[in-house]
Structures are given as C-alpha cells and as structure tokens.
Structure 1
Amino acid sequence: MQRIIKNDQVVDETWHLLPKDVTLEELSNCDDLIVPFQLWLDHAHALKARDGGLGIWLEADEAVEDIADDLQHFQVIALNFPAFTDGRHYSSARLLRERYGYKGEIRAIGDVLRDQLFYMRRCGFDAFAIRADRDPYDALEGLKDFSVTYQPAADEPLPLFRRRQA
C-alpha cells in the first residue's frame, strides 16, 4: 500500500487513483476513487450516483477552470506533475483555493519530490503522493525547510509586515 503525506503526517493511501484508460464498467460502486478528467467529462452523471467517495485528477495541460462548476462533487482534486520541472499546477492549486474557494483536499501526484513540498503547500496543496522511489518520511521534513515566509500565499494570506503589525 502506498503511503502519502497528508495533514503534515505520513498516512496510508485510502483512495484509488485510476489510470486514464479505465472504463465506467470497471469501477466499484463503493470504493473511494480519483478518476481521470476525461472519464468525468464522459460519465459525470453516473459517477455522481456512486456510493463511494469521488475525486478527480488533472494532467498539467488540463485546466481547473473546466471543473470549476463541479467542485462540490469532489472530495479530492489530484494535480499531476509529469516532471519535476513542470510547475503549471502550482497555479492550478492557487486558483482552486483563492478564486474558487475549494476547501477539499488538493493532492500533488506524479514526479513529486521533497524540494517541492514547502512551495506546494504555500500554493494550496495539503496532500502529497511522493514518487515511489523516495522516502515519504524524509520528504515530510521538506515541509519544515523554512520557518518564516514574507509573501502572502494560499497558506498565509497576509505578508510578514502585516502579521507583525497585528
């Protein structure tokens, strides 16, 4: 069983991240599933009628604006990083939190490494599926790399000088 970082601790993964080629007929009615964007587009009505939890995952070239009207249906939104150097979903997480007010879990999946976690959390991520060849306990320490932040972000809306004035 895969272990993920969630709420600043390493936990067992309970959701099933489905591959892009899965069909509706293959899905369990009661498991907690994170479905690919295209499956949601093709079968949203049937997926909403399931008994299990529902999440969605987006590739780096799929926009959160395309699911903005459906956010209330998702308990988890997983954003895929196809490569360590591809940072497009940093903006996606920030949009979900700040523009669309999404309160559910935003999870980083794919090529996710320790060096990214602190910055991902600042953008709105609260769960991380670390690359399989990396230690999640070591990666968890990446959330503590910096003790003070100056700029406002999704995790702290006030800049440091405003926090000091308060």
Structure 2
Amino acid sequence: MPDIIFRDGSIRQNQWFVVSRPERGETLDIPEQKRVLIPADLWIENREQFAGNENIGVWLDSHDEPEVLADHVNELPLIAVNFPKFSDGRGYSIARLLRERFGYENELRAIGDVLLDQLQFMKRCGFDTYELRPDKDIRKAARALNFFSQGYQAATDTDLPLFRRRAS
C-alpha cells in the first residue's frame, strides 16, 4: 500500500486497504485482519453487520451523495473521497458537506487522482490525509502542503475571511 500524507505534512504508512465495488452478482470480499474502506452505499445496506467495527471505514465516489451517511457519519473512523480524475472537483464539495453540514469529526481522506497542486485546497475543505497518485513524489507533495500560512477565504479551517481576522 502507498504511504499517505497527513495534514501536518508528515508521511506515514497507510493502514487502510480500499475494497473495490464488487461486480454485479458478486459479494463484497472484505479481507480479514485488515483495516478496510468499503463503498459507502454497501456500508449503509449492511450497517448492523458493521456497526462498531473500528476496522471498517467507507469511501465515496465523486458522484455519490454524502447525504447517505448523514445520520451515521461519526460512527465511521475514516471516510475517503475518491477523485477519479484531477479535474473533477466534486470531492471538495463532498468534504465540506461532511464537515460543515453533517459534522463529521474523524479522519477524512482524499484518494484517487490526487496531485500536489490540490493538497492545499483539499486541506482547506477539511481533508486530513492524502493518498497521492502513485507516479507522484510524496516527499515533494508533503512539503507543498503548507506553502501558504493563511487563506483569504473562510473555509473549514477558519470561519472568518482574512480581512475579518485582521480587523479583530
């Protein structure tokens, strides 16, 4: 499994295995003794079976609606949002909805086509960890995560825009 970057710029070994959506007619195959991320809709369908299991988190695709998790977000130790291609910005909105509307407090991870240029924006939207695309330099990306000390706009990391913070 590839390493991941944490919001503080540290690089650590990934402890979570992403389980792909099963093909039609197949069952969900969850490896034993591993921490796994399963498709969110399958977790909802089998919630009673997975309830309280700290080794099972979920992943949302960019076309999934985070509302499916609305009443259960904080039952999950980790929610990952898949970016199928770098130009698909729906994952940013999903992250903000999970944090701001649904009050998700645990780890939020960006997976998929995640590039260095996106990390600062992902951080501002509420992501905690980032699984970089395999062909990218994780050390360079970790340094880029904290290029900017302040953001102008309000976001999940600050409620006030910079001009209001300066005024107070």
Query: TM-score by structure 2 length?
Result: 0.89
Aligned position for 1:69: 71
Aligned AA for 1:19? S
- The 8 Å contact of residues 4 and 129 in structure 2, kept in 1 or not, is answered as yes
Aligned to 2:40: 37
- Give the whole-Å Cα distance in 1 for the aligned partners of 2:36 and 2:75: 12
Give the drift of 1:34.
1.0
Aligned-pair identity (%) = 43
**How well do the aligned residues superpose, as a CA RMSD in angstroms?**
1.7
Match of 1:79, SS?
strand
2:153 to 151, 154, 158: 151
Residues in 1 aligned to 2:64 and 2:162: alpha-carbon distance in whole angstroms = 33
Q: Which residue of 2 aligns with 1:59?
A: 61
Matching residue's letter, 1:149: G
Tell me the SS of whatever aligns to 2:80.
Answer: strand
How many Å apart are 1:29 and its aligned residue?
5.3
Please list the CA deviations of residues 66-90 of structure 1 after superposition, one character each: whole Å capped at 9, or x if unmatched. 1111112211110000000000010
Cα deviation, residue 16, structure 1: 1.5
In the alignment, is residue 79 of structure 1 matched against residue 81 of structure 2?
yes
The answer on whether the counterparts of 2:83 and 2:114 sit within 8 Å (CA) in structure 1 is: yes
| Equivalent-residue separation in structure 2 for 1:98 and 1:28 (angstroms) | 33
Shift of 1:30: 4.5
2:5, 2:95 → 1: CA distance?
A: 17
TM-fit CA distance, 1:28: 4.4
Structure 1 contact 107–127 (Cα < 8 Å) conserved: yes
Aligned residues: 164
Q: Which residue of 1 aligns with 2:19?
A: 18
CA contact (8 A) 1:23 1:39 kept: no
1:98 Cα offset (Å): 1.0
Mean CA deviation greater in 102-111 or 139-148: 139-148
Could you tell me the TM-score, scaled by structure 1's length? 0.90
* 1:134-149 equivalences in 2 (<5 Å): 134-149=136-151
Mark the runs of 5 or more structure 1 residues left unpaired by the alignment. none
In structure 2, C-alpha distance between the alignment counterparts of 1:99 and 1:30, rounded to whole Å: 33
1:146 positional shift: 2.1
Helix, strand or coil for the counterpart of 1:144? coil
Contact 2:124 2:155 in 1 (8 A): yes
User: Match for residue 125 of structure 1?
Assistant: 127
Q: Which residue of 2 aligns with 1:105?
A: 107
Write the letter of the residue equivalent to 1:68: A
One-letter code aligned to 1:89? G
Q: What per-residue deviation string (whole Å, max 9, x for no partner) do you get for residues 82-130 of structure 1?
A: 0000000101111111111111111000000000000011111111000
